[in-house]
Amino acid sequence: MTATPELEPRQGPLSGLRVLDLTRALAGPFCTMLLGDLGADIIKVESPEGDMTRTLGPFAPNRKETDYGAYFAAVNRNKRSIVLDLKDSSDKKTFLSMIRKVDVVVENFRPGVMDRLDLSFEKLQSLNPRLVYAAVRGFGDPRTGESPYANWPAFDIVAQCMGGVVSSTGEKGSSGVRAGPAVGDVYPGTLAALGVVSAVLNSRTTKQGQFLDVSMYDAMLTMGEALIYIYDQTGELHPPSGNEHPSLCPFEIYNTREGSIAIAAPTDKHWRILCEIVGEPQLGRDPDYKDTASRVKNRSSIRTLIENWASDKTMAEVVDLLSGRVPVGPVHTPADIFKDPHVAARNMLQEVEYPGSDSPITMANASIKLTKTPAGVYRRAPHLGEHTNDILDEFEIKR
């Protein structure tokens, strides 16, 4: 890991793209974080109170030197902050002046909030016809499709529940569990970033911007796409099935003497190799295990076979025997991830300056790797309003 020099020039493919970021919490800021990692100039527009997540920890030892914790630091890197109260006439005038010189606006308020501020997409586009306006909402925006839930507030767990993720995750016989990572926020944010890039590409060709939105509920339906077609074709609800895959085997997590490990050998080729490694080569051609459907039907005996073989081995020993021949992956904790040579080789842990701490904060680096226009972390998260004067000067706005 290497510390990121502050204010290192942006090199990503979106360098030159200017984004006004009105988002808060996670889904919206994750979208603009991705755009910032790819080189866009992200101007985070905050109210005088600031993004609510500034108050979430863990925090640097010296709280007096910073106004944000690790949560905010991770998803608001590569951004500058300007304080504008959009209910104030003077600040609203400033915001409208900025609109003329930006490419994108991203917000994640509930439907109608910007309209009531007289800052609707239609008004902003009248000032800047090329403007791309992106919204991340719990249940979408009426411009792209009316929803009976449009005015409901939503967070990650709500989206996971309604989109089917929870009902299909967890141990057999349970009512489901929330996925550990906040996929109900992060995946919609990722789709919104893709939507922004697509709309900007179109805008540069047609000279016309557009409105786009991503519903958190819709995004969870997209992420769990197998649930939809399985139910449509079979009527099966796909309840929680633990670590089993409904149509592949072996394709789950197995216990070793120390730790657990994923083994994915659903193809006939990989199954035969696995049988040789575990000392049962005849099973590779046994009629009871001849194809994927047969192996799914007999998954319990396969689980017994693999775990009996692995019971006297450590997780590392199983990885050593299977790696390069059968798809395998240890169940990593964060501590394991910090030590994994792949993570180091791919520069996936990045140290970034953390005000209030004698040491930097480490966060997941950009996972989109480009050879000519590298993406990554070049700037720490901003203090509230830290760049207000600089930004106003850039836009030639007097206060």
Concatenating the DSSP letter of every residue in 251-285 gives: EEEEE-SBSEEEEE--SHHHHHHHHHHTT-GGGGG
Flag whether pLDDT at 361 surpasses 60.
yes
Q: What pLDDT is recorded for position 29?
A: 98
- For residues 177 and 317, state if they share a domain: no
Q: What pLDDT is recorded for position 299?
A: 95
- For residues 105 and 218, state if they share a domain: yes
Is residue 160 within 8 Å of residue 220, measured between CB atoms? yes
Average pLDDT over residues 96-107: 98
- What is the reported pTM? 0.94
185 an active-site residue?
Answer: yes
Flag whether pLDDT at 159 surpasses 90.
yes
- pLDDT-based confidence at 247, cuts 50/70/90? confident
Three-state DSSP at 100 gives coil
- For residues 176 and 40, state if they share a domain: yes
> What does DSSP say about strands 41-46 and 79-83: parallel, antiparallel, or unpaired?
parallel
Query: Is residue 229, in this structure, part of any structural domain at all?
Result: no
- For residues 112 and 182, state if they share a domain: yes
Length of the chain, please?
399
Flag whether pLDDT at 214 surpasses 50.
yes
> Which of 37, 141, 156, 185 is labelled catalytic?
185
Average pLDDT over residues 231-236: 91
Considering 311, 330, 349, which residue would you say is the last residue of a domain? Answer: 330
Q: What pLDDT is recorded for position 309?
A: 97
- pLDDT-based confidence at 236, cuts 50/70/90? confident
Half-sphere exposure of 224 (CA within 13 A, CB side): 27
- pLDDT-based confidence at 239, cuts 50/70/90? confident
Q: Give the CATH number, domain containing residue 293.
A: 3.30.1540.10
Q: What pLDDT is recorded for position 380?
A: 95
Average pLDDT over residues 69-78: 97
Query: Is residue 160, in this structure, part of any structural domain at all?
Result: yes
Query: Is residue 236, in this structure, part of any structural domain at all?
Result: no
- For residues 104 and 202, state if they share a domain: yes
CB neighbour list of residue 173: distance below 8 Å, 6 or more residues apart = 240
Flag whether pLDDT at 2 surpasses 50.
no
Q: Which domain holds residue 320?
A: 260-330
What are the pLDDT digits (tens) for 307-347? 999 999 999 999 999 999 999 999 999 999 999 999 999 99
Number of domains in the chain: 2
DSSP at 355: T
- For residues 206 and 72, state if they share a domain: yes
Flag whether pLDDT at 260 surpasses 80.
yes
Query: Is residue 235, in this structure, part of any structural domain at all?
Result: no
Is residue 132 within 8 Å of residue 199, measured between CB atoms? yes
- For residues 219 and 139, state if they share a domain: yes
Q: What pLDDT is recorded for position 8?
A: 59
- For residues 124 and 212, state if they share a domain: yes
CA distance 175 to 153: 23
Q: What pLDDT is recorded for position 5?
A: 42
Flag whether pLDDT at 1 surpasses 50.
no
Q: Give the CATH number, domain containing residue 202.
A: 3.40.50.10540
Average pLDDT over residues 116-133: 98
